[in-house]
Chains A and B, each alone.
Chain A
């Protein structure tokens, strides 16, 4: 099993994204932005008004996550994925704006799966409820935007060797039930 794990380093090229197949286990390193319900609402409101986002969305990766607070010298608290489906309504606009990688948990709508294919993106899943394990894979954590949202604020995280599964690939093939 371990032998089959494919290492990926963000950002990914178009070819690298295309090479990922639904069902692959990958070990991801690189930078992602955290964003969940409230941040997505603000992103999409800003896009609708034609404004620039507070993150560089082109070719970006977004992790659907609201961590527990960091205590003492910790980089971050526990930080597993949240349910991606709640971001479905916002996702086509985000993909259109250039988002390439989404990381969360659980199935997406047909609309999102189709948009993943249309924009040559990929949807990865982390293990829901593995907050402590994922916390240990975060090497840096920098607040970027919407700090008033508390645990829903947007942070830039750098992961080192985080294991994920390709749930929906750039061909629109989805493995989730």
Chain B
């Protein structure tokens, strides 16, 4: 059986995470600078220009783009024909700890609030796939935007309009808090936890890239229009651009359910995917 060494996973993740926390995703940076050109409110335009400048300064000086380096969320797709030499979960967590060695450690026990001091454990979602590859996708999730996320257990009769209303309500309630301009991940279907995971997975997509599912892609456009009509604007200063992009993911659900999860991502988009080939 082909193998991947746990040590290789740890070392590569550590290096990639460190850089991901410094260099905001290029697709997002482009959307921010385009937004700064289009924005009609002087306050929001100022905010968007400051954000663009921040991202350039972060890369040039190798500084963290945002001091909230987030909790690490990992999606791991594990090929069923491979063997990991060592413990995979441990290898991922060690990679996260390595990547955050110089970064802010923001993970604490929920009750005692004692910091774990390593930014671990990561939140890891596993999928088993065909073949002998391991794909690891990382997303840094800060508290400001995560706290503004919501779950709705709709009834099927609410339909598409009900889904759009949920997203608009979530974004309106959040206002300035999640550091707009935001990216909105929407999970539709499955069960309570499944739609929440889908909404998170939607945020790992390259920002602005439409869904491959035509129905989801259509919904993304409709939500984008509605959300940007709210007038919240960058940093909640009141303007034209509240969301840079919307990403929708769906999964089959029960005949009696329509779960919708809205996961908000701030403009500091820090994620990557990397593939390990078994040898």
Contacts and interface: CB of A to CB of B under 8 A. Distances in A.
Interface of A: 1, 23, 25, 38, 65-69, 71, 77-80, 82-83, 85, 105-107, 125, 127-136, 150-151, 163, 165, 175-177
Nearest 8 interchain pairs by C-beta: A132-B58, A128-B179, A133-B54, A130-B54, A132-B63, A78-B64, A106-B177, A131-B67
B104 interface: yes
Contacts of A1: 42, 45-46
A175 B238 contact: yes
B235 A125 contact: yes
B177 A177 contact: no
Contacts of B66: 78, 80, 129-132
Nearest to B230: A177
B53 to A, nearest CB: 6
Which of the listed residues A129, A131, A176 has the most CB atoms from chain B within 10 Å of its own CB?
A: A129
Contacts of A127: 47, 50-51, 54, 235
A133 B53 contact: yes
A173 B144 CA distance: 24
Contacts of B175: 106-107, 176-177
A174 to B, nearest CB: 10
B54 A129 contact: yes
A175 B47 contact: no
Contacts of A82: 68, 143-144
Contacts of B115: 150
Contacts of B61: 132, 136
Interface in B248-278: 266-268
Which of the listed residues B51, B69, B179, B233 has the most CB atoms from chain A within 10 Å of its own CB?
A: B179
A128 B54 contact: no
B84 interface: no
Given A131-B67, A165-B237, A107 B176 contact: yes
B147 A83 contact: yes
B185 to A, nearest CB: 17
A80 B232 CA distance: 21
* Majority DSSP secondary structure for residues of A touching B: loop
B231 A177 contact: yes
B236 interface: yes
A151 B104 CA distance: 7
Interface string B166-208: 0000000001110100000000000000000000000000000
B102 interface: yes
Nearest to B181: A129
A108 to B, nearest CB: 10
B97 interface: no
Contacts of B147: 83
B50 A163 contact: yes
Nearest to A163: B50
A83 B65 contact: no
A131 B135 CA distance: 30
A105 B177 CA distance: 7
B82 interface: no
Interface in B202-236: 230-233, 235-236
Contact of B46 (A25, A150, A151): A25
Which of the listed residues B54, B57, B266 has the most CB atoms from chain A within 10 Å of its own CB?
A: B54
A176 B179 CA distance: 12
Contacts of A133: 50, 53-54, 57-58
Interface string B102-120: 1111100000010100000
Nearest to B47: A127
A65 B57 contact: no
10 contacts: A66-B67, A80-B68, A83-B144, A128-B266, A131-B66, A133-B54, A163-B50, A177-B175, A177-B233, A177-B237
B84 to A, nearest CB: 31
B57 A132 contact: yes
Contacts of B230: 177
Contacts of B124: none
Which of the listed residues B51, B65, B67, B104 has the most CB atoms from chain A within 10 Å of its own CB?
A: B67
